[in-house]
């Protein structure tokens, strides 16, 4: 059988990779974007460019929306000359943008009210970056009716790695909620790497030395390894992932958290720092450039003549800072997932090998889940050493007048564990009564 035609809206960094991957797999893909250079690139890659949403959707049994936000998705979908009116009867529509779960649910409702209940709709946000989008190895979190999933699962499989398609129970909205709790990790860890490099710069450490130390330590995260490639090269203009993108995702988290009474403490701190970057006019710059809040000097140009023992001690302070932040970020993500009804083992499987992954999430996350599921009372005191090390890093930062937004926030949360000093006591902070 011939492969079905696919319509595609949103040829940004991720969307371009997704759409061109499908072209390489032999599909006829018609792509829409408002930016002409993106259409030109798509045409050069073998796709069919379109300057009309309606034309991009006409006669397409499958359609993918990968715009930046719900504000962009709504008119693209429902304007008179938009996607929904042009789709053929019984088409399958995938919304792969990161949007609030409430918005995903509203799309399903609006389709019915527009007389297009025949459209099979799948809420399917993605994660993994432009490279994995182009390789067809994304992580995809999908929520839909059984009928819609039966129609569209093959297309999700085409764009995801074999073990990275997560069908989340709960229908439309569940996929977006899974992406939201994953982005708790991403939102915190994107800022944490700049905070770490900034702290290191104030300590007189060269960025390459910091990278080599962290990458093999408990301070490792996927975001640290990924964004470091641009931080060390100052590849910020425009870079690959604008500050406005992670700010949008962080806003989804903090807004949802307020609406359900959940204390997303580190995400709220991160959001305020992202606002500061926006105020400086950095919104379109790569988020790996947030280190400029701490150092105007390139982190790779910093020279020192520290004795080996002193240098190692300072590098360890940076590792301890990241370790403490990532420990608390794991608790924040997993606790929010429990609060909104996301299956915790599924989140763990997803995040361990996705953009929110970290050594601390991998090592502590599984035990956090057993505690929250009532399978472990966690009577052991295991956080004391983390508290001690993070306190030492924060004290050093205070001595040299270096701001540690996430580090200080994480330490304050860990200090609330008191003499108990256990994972259970940290998770108790996030429990909503």
pLDDT tens column, 364-374: 999 999 999 98
State mean pLDDT over 348-361.
94
| Helix ranges (DSSP H) in 203-307 | 207-214, 222-231, 243-260, 265-279
As a whole number of angstroms, the distance between CA 117 and CA 111 comes to 6
Whether residue 1 has pLDDT greater than 60: no
As a whole number of angstroms, the distance between CA 107 and CA 104 comes to 5
State what percent of residues in the chain have pLDDT above 90. Answer: 90
pLDDT at 433: 47
Taken in order 305, 310, 313, 317, is the CA torsion positive or negative? Answer: negative
Around 374, how many Cα atoms within 13 Å sit in the side-chain half-sphere?
Answer: 0
DSSP label of 161: E
Tokens of 157: 């499989």
Q: 248 with 283: CB under 8 angstroms?
A: no
Instruction: List 138's β-bridge partners, or say none.
Output: 160
State mean pLDDT over 42-65.
98
Output the pTM of the full model. 0.92
Whether residue 331 has pLDDT greater than 50: yes
| Domains of the chain and CATH, by start | 6-171 (3.40.50.720), 177-430 (1.10.1040.10)
Catalytic residues: 179
Please write the tens of the pLDDT for every residue from 147-204: 999 999 999 999 999 899 999 999 999 999 999 999 999 999 999 999 999 999 999 9
pLDDT at 129: 84
Whether residue 418 has pLDDT greater than 90: no
Kindly indicate the confidence band of residue 431, based on its pLDDT and cuts at 50, 70 and 90.
Answer: confident
Please write the tens of the pLDDT for every residue from 239-254: 889 999 999 999 999 9
Is it true that the peptide bond before 238 is cis, omega within 30 degrees of 0? yes
| Nearest by Cα to 68 from 258, 284, 237 | 284
Q: Mean pLDDT in the chain?
A: 95
Residue whose structure tokens are 């641009």: 230
162: Cβ contacts below 8 Å, ≥ 6 apart? none
Tokens of 228: 């470091």
Kindly indicate the confidence band of residue 380, based on its pLDDT and cuts at 50, 70 and 90.
Answer: low
State mean pLDDT over 102-107.
97
């Amino acid at each position: 059988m011939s492969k079905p035609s696919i319509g595609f809206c949103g040829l940004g960094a991720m969307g371009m990779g997704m759409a061109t991957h499908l072209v390489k797999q032999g599909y006829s893909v018609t792509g829409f974007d408002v930016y002409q250079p993106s259409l030109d690139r798509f045409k050069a890659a073998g796709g069919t460019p379109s300057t009309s949403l309606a034309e991009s959707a006409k006669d397409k049994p499958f359609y993918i929306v990968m715009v930046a936000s719900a504000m962009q998705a709504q008119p693209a979908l429902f304007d008179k000359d938009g996607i929904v009116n042009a789709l053929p009867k019984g088409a399958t529509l995938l919304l792969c943008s990161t949007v609030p779960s409430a918005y995903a649910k509203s799309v399903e409702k609006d389709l019915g009210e527009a007389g297009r209940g025949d459209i099979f709709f799948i809420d399917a946000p993605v994660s993994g970056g432009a490279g994995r989008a182009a390789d067809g190895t994304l992580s995809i979190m999908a929520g839909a009716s059984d009928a819609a999933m039966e129609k569209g699962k093959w297309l999700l499989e085409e764009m995801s790695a074999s073990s990275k398609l997560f069908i989340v129970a709960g229908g439309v909205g569940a996929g977006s909620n899974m992406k939201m709790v994953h982005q708790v990790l991403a939102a915190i860890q994107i800022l944490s790497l700049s905070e770490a490099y900034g702290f290191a710069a104030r300590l007189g450490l060269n960025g390459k030395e910091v990278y080599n130390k962290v990458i093999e330590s408990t301070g490792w995260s996927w975001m640290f390894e990924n964004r470091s490639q641009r931080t060390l090269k100052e590849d910020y203009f425009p870079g690959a992932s604008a500050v406005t993108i992670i700010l949008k995702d962080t806003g989804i988290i903090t807004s949802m958290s307020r609406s359900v009474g959940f204390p997303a403490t580190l995400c709220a701190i991160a959001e305020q720092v992202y606002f500061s970057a926006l105020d400086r006019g950095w919104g379109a710059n790569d988020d790996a450039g947030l280190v400029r809040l701490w150092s105007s000097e390139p982190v790779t140009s910093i020279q020192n003549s520290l004795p080996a023992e002193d240098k190692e001690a300072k590098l360890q302070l940076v590792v301890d800072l990241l370790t403490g932040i990532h420990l608390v970020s794991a608790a924040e993500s997993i606790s929010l997932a429990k609060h909104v009804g996301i299956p915790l083992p599924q989140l763990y499987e997803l995040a361990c090998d996705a953009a929110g992954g970290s050594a601390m999430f991998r090592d502590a996350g599984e035990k956090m889940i057993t505690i929250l599921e009532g399978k472990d009372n966690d009577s052991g005191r295991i956080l004391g050493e983390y508290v001690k090390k993070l306190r030492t890093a924060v004290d050093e930062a205070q001595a040299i007048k270096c701001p540690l937004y996430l580090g200080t926030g994480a330490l304050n949360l860990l200090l609330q564990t008191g003499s108990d000093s256990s994972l259970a006591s940290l998770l108790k902070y996030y429990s909503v009564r």
